[in-house]
Structure 1
Amino acid sequence: MLYQEKHRPQLHFTPKENWINDPNGLVYYEGEYHLFYQYNPHGNDHANMNWGHATSKDLYHWEEHGVALAPDELGTIFSGSAVADKNNTSGLFESDSGGLVAIFTHDGASQQQSIAYSEDKGRTWIKYEGNPVIPNTEIKDFRDPKVSWHEESKQWVMVLACGDHIQFYSSPNLIDWTYLSSFGKEYPSYIGVWECPDLLYLPVEDSSKKEWVLIVSINADGPNGGSAVYYFTGSFDGKEFHPNETPKDELKWADAGKDFYAAVSWDNTKDTYWIGWMNNWQYAGVVPVSPWRSAMSLARKLSLFEKDGSLLLKQEAIIADNSKEEVSYKDVTIQPDETESYEISNTAQVDLQISKTSNSTKWGVQFVTDQGEAFRLVIDKQSDAYTFYRNEGIIDFSEDFPEEVKGSLNGLDVQALKAIVDKSSVELFLNDGLTVSTNLIYPKGAVTKLEIFAVNEALKVDNVSWTNLHSIWK
């Protein structure tokens, strides 16, 4: 049955069939969230890049619309963004109320930036006859334009990935672009190339402040190998980005899991939301699924949290109210080397609130299938680290699909844990999303149990709850 295949995600967007990767053109317009994405309409591998298209009313349930932008004489359609040109700054629209403008990379003899516009809420697109709007003959990697309106300087600002650095451009009309500055050559990109940048202005929790955040996806050399997303906090004056971090500082990973990449934000929203590609370039082409290949992460609401003078990215998973049932237990104590077990479904949200009086410094949860497979998360306070074990299920399709995924707890004692379990993934949000880890799994069975365990001293849990979730396809 459609959308019911063995490992088909039930809580995450996937196309009906064929390959997808980076989210593109994210924009909210007239009651719809638009999700465009890299799409191969002809097969299950990374080739023939078009923009696919889906829309949502709630960032959770999606309707697929098919191809939005197709290749032409300038090349295939690589990643980019879209904006609501509400004041018709481009002059491309007959109405003063404007419409949608997409800014994307044409990948041909070289990578160049082009635009297209839509007057019917993104259903059909007209490519600008003067494309490319930013030509290029010199830089090999010159792609993934992310555009937003900078209110302070009253101009459109573009961040563009250029191999080992980011370039900034400005425009009054989305057509005529002026180079502003560059950032990042002083930061080591190791073996990776910088991709899919974004420039965000986010509120700092528990304050009236907002700060600028520059997002960079790097392929490869992520914290667990392969592709990943990191970020810089700092200031932006309409021309230059000035980071708080120095090149000697440890990089801040937005998601230290193995399978979160190319994340970018929606334009034209009051709060800031983003979504990422839930895969890793090390093995994306061989993950054991069909007739689709790859999924998007859950959408997430973004903010900042200040800790010891440093700013941490905070991510809150967006899940619509579609629960089958909710179960909750209060005041649970788990003794060392003991386990509490609960029955859950293989599409569920799990929440734990750890007591402030709990003495356990090493504890965890695991998701167990009806075939005895266990996908385990271990929290180790003394090491300021977590480990997610995915050493069961189908793992032999790639030597780069690691059995253990590790990450930092950012110096925080874990008081809250949220896990979103789907047919082929687990998204982990620790401390309300200050530590996030997204990881694919391919169980042979179906998850049926949540187990909580303590390794050393007793673990005191104020509240254990889970919600078994309906499929978004029903």
Structure 2
Amino acid sequence: MTQVQAGTRTVAHLRPAFHIRPPRGYMNDPNGPLEVGSDVHLYFQSRPVLEMHVPVEWGHVTSTDYVRWTLHRPAMAPLPGGPDTDGCWSGNTILDNGRIRAFYSGYLDNRPYQSVLTAVSDDGGMSFGPPRQVIPDPTDDAIMFRDPFVWQENGSWWLAVGAGYAGRGGSITLYQSPDLETWTYVGPLAELPRSTVNGEDTGAAWECPQLLTLDNRRIAVVASWSPEGGSAEVLSFDVDVPLVPQRVDHGTNFYAASAMRESRFGPLLFGWLTEGRDRDGWDDWAGVISLPRVVWLGADSSLRSAPIPSLDTLRTGPGVPADGCTTGPQCEIAVPSGSGQVIIHFSDQERVVVSLDADAVTVDRTESSLSPHAHRGRMQATDAFDPASGRPAARIFLDGSVLEVFTSAGRVLSTRVYPTTPPAWRVEAPPNAHFWTLDH
């Protein structure tokens, strides 16, 4: 049996093929997805190695279909002696008179806050020029201030910064500009003292604020964070009514969402899928970007998700009955309706179980790996099914160590699994379930 050990290269079956990731090094937050003509640009925080002291740069991929991505040289790197010397941290991009302009956080390890910077690309997004600071540093009661998000609405440019303030909790700090050059402080767009809502810690501060307009409502997506616990969950809420944060992804490994307000498929969301294994289990790479998701509001005002339609082009042929199929590390399994279990048997001792009942979908990875470094446990989403939607009750995507499950009501659970046994693997599924091999 093939074991995953620290200090060795990951066995091939654990490497994602159609999810975005660099061939080596450390990847985390997606940044600035943007359509320019027929091309899609996506940037991401990246280090060429796993050592965390190495400054973060902006990695870069492009695509014409949101499915097959081309990796390019990093588009942005820290400027020695500049305001981002120790790292180009998260932000987003916009089109400014045909040029791609980035807004992002510049990190200096001897300063308490990141500077809000802007830089312009004059070569179609392949590289960015020198940065300059556009927002002053925050007041002393800020415990965090980073991750700008810029968008245009009602004839003005708006800039939101993720923040947290002592005694005030998570905050989205808002600025306005007529020309992207001069910014005026507006005030908190949304703010919430730290609390527990629907079982979720709302955080001492909010990272990676994103603003979407859905059903003519302003919906914020934030990543809850605290000094003692670090990152927690991605939450969404309507900023114009009393805040009721709700979880965006019900899995264990989705963080730092990045939004596209507009695309050929409508509003989209990307996320960073964290490792789901102890640091001692890493080898030469870590981190992956989620599948892009079409998003909308549910009846309860929560953010719902579905796989981007072009993902179907990865299917190698017509679907076949899933029960009894053998599979490699890339596949899709769809359950059109009803209840039951989909089990991917990696071996007699390793398996992952997706259970559907009348109301909930559950992913159980308790027995998914014999590796001592792999994380385990169960995750569940309720209000999971909408038979009138026209979508399958569940679509299950396996890509190496990545597992993403989407339901007909728009719930999604993202997690990581690390079977030590290489394929072929066996699928057990309800009689109506369909199976496809996916070829990148």
Match of 1:213 among 195, 219, 223: 219
Distance 1:394 1:115 in 2: 46
Kindly indicate whether the alpha-carbon contact (under 8 Å) linking 1:257 and 1:407 is maintained by their aligned counterparts in 2: yes
CA displacement at 1:118 relative to structure 2 = 0.9
Moved more, 370-379 or 409-418: 409-418
Q: Extract unaligned runs of 5+ from structure 2.
A: 1-8, 165-169, 196-200
Q: Does 1:448 find its partner at 2:440?
A: no
- Could you tell me whether the CA contact under 8 Å between 2:50 and 2:286 is conserved in 1? no
Instruction: Indicate the residue corresponding to 1:179 in structure 2.
Output: 185
TM-score by length of 2: 0.83
**Displacement after TM superposition at 1:346 (Å):** 2.2
Partner of 1:438: 414
Whether the aligned pair in 1 keeps the contact of 2:202 and 2:224 (CA below 8 Å) is: no
* Contact 2:370–2:419 (CA under 8 A) maintained in structure 1: yes
Task: Name the CA shift for 1:80/1:66 in 2 (closer, same or farther; >3 Å).
Answer: same
Matched with 1:80 is 91
SS in 2 for 1:141: strand
* Structure 1 residues 226 and 396: CA distance shift in structure 2, 3 A: farther
The one-character-per-residue Cα deviations of 1:427-454 (angstroms, maximum 9, x if unpaired) are: 001115x21100000111236222126x
Q: Is the 8 A contact 1:77 1:106 kept in 2?
A: yes
Secondary structure, aligned partner of 2:67: coil
The corresponding residue for 1:168 is 174
> One-letter code of the match for 1:425?
V
**Aligned letter for 1:242?**
D
* Separation in 2, partners of 1:284, 1:376: 19
Offset of 1:371 from its aligned partner? Answer: 5.7
Cα displacement (A) at 1:267: 5.2
Name the counterpart of 1:299.
Answer: 292
Per the alignment, residue 301 of structure 2 pairs with 311
Where do 5+ consecutive residues of structure 1 fail to align?
89-97, 203-208, 234-240, 333-339, 454-460
Aligned residue identity for 1:351: A
Separation in 1, partners of 2:102, 2:93 = 4
**Can you list the C-alpha shifts for 1:185-208, whole angstroms capped at 9, x where unaligned?**
345256553111101012xxxxxx
Q: Counterpart in 2 of 1:429? A: 406
CA change 1:287–1:404 in 2 (3 A) is same
Q: Aligned pair in 2 of structure 1 residues 378, 185: CA closer, same or farther (>3 Å)? A: same
Other-structure match for 1:107: 107
Counterparts in 2 of 1:190 and 1:3: CA distance versus 1, 3 Å: closer
Partner of 2:6: none
Aligned to 2:74: 67
Residue identity matched to 1:277: W
> Do 1:390 and 1:404's aligned partners in 2 also have CA atoms closer than 8 Å?
yes
> Structure 2 vs 1, CA of residues 220 and 370 (structure 1 numbering), >3 Å: closer, same or farther?
farther
Residue 393 of structure 2 corresponds to residue 416 of structure 1: yes
Judge conservation of contact 1:192–1:218 (CA < 8 Å) in 2.
yes
Q: Whole-Å Cα distance in 1 between the matches of residues 280 and 28 of structure 2?
A: 13
- In structure 1, what is the Cα distance between the partners aligned to 2:162 and 2:232? 15
**Does 1:389 pair with 2:381?**
no
1:279 aligned to which of 274, 278, 286: 274
Shift in Å at residue 100 of structure 1? 0.7
Counterpart position of 2:326: 343
CA contact (8 A) 2:29 2:90 kept: yes
Note the aligned Cα RMSD (angstroms). Answer: 2.8
* Structure 2 equivalent of residue 326 of structure 1: 318
C-alpha distance after superposition, 1:35-70 (max 9, x if no partner) = 111111344547411111111111111111122111
Deviation at 1:320, TM superposition (A): 4.9
The code of the aligned residue for 1:107 comes to: Y
Kindly state the Cα deviation for residue 4 of structure 1 after the two structures are TM-superposed: 7.8
2:7 aligned with 1:30, yes or no?
Answer: no
* Identical columns (%): 24
Task: Find the aligned partners of 1:315 and 1:36 in 2 and give their Cα distance.
Answer: 21
Q: How does 1:262-273 map to 2 (within 5 A)?
A: 262-266=256-260, 268-270=262-264, 271-273=266-268
| Letter matched to residue 196 of structure 1 | C
SS in 2 for 1:142: strand
Distance in 2, matches of 1:46 and 1:437, equals 31
Q: Distance in 2 between matches of 1:45 and 1:220?
A: 19
Aligned partner of residue 120 in structure 1, secondary structure:
coil
- Alpha-carbon shift at residue 19 of structure 1 (Å): 0.6
TM-score (norm 1): 0.77
Determine the C-alpha separation between the residues in 1 that align with 2:249 and 2:420. Answer: 26
